Structure 1
């Protein structure tokens, strides 16, 4: 198992099917252009590779907010291939994200998870994440 940042078009496309399990509304043919456009604004991706296949993928950003007292890593997306769950890929990816955040001087790691994702929440609690606030939104 190897975790690495996805930089090339081929690497980004290799993770597309796993990411689309979490984000199915992104059309397959638009995926690369969408990710590349987001990368212009600071979005990055990392993937867990095993036997030449992407088993898990995460999208993240690093930025500052006043209330954190420093930089934070915000995890936009964290998706493990549904056929590969409970094999350590999610943990390996989250460990890599935490290490990357520390290496970049971040004081916190944040992520939001839909209220319907009970199995994901169980994983996050097991990995030491806590519920620290509600996240509110409105459609515009």
Structure 2
């Protein structure tokens, strides 16, 4: 018995999305490794910690639950908790008791963490600009980078 999709003409938009995905995964892995290395070397913070710190920095001065950080990063609560514990040990975050439920804790960024995030953000933006400038000439990624850069320019004003 043949599969029902064997004789259908592939949807061109699905094919395009699939091809973009195939190109995006290796590019993402390449960029992730470079950014993690650069952030660690220059600021003593890995990309995962930087992303968690960013969630807290964007909510500053408010605090965020561990599950809220996990949800925004797309990771498990235990993974978010481990990253936040590392940030807390480094003095970049602090856990505070939630007044409505003393069993629950929330996390907030410290002034030290906020300063680090701002400096590391500048590094991240600079490194991404350099990487995209280089990758746009790489035949494996040129089409994807062009699409990403076009999307960035076309974003509506906030």
User: When the two structures are superposed, what TM-score results if normalisation uses the length of structure 2?
Assistant: 0.27
Pair member with larger Rg: 2
Higher strand share: 1
Q: Which has the higher helix share?
A: 2
In the superposition, the TM-score normalised over structure 1's length comes to 0.29
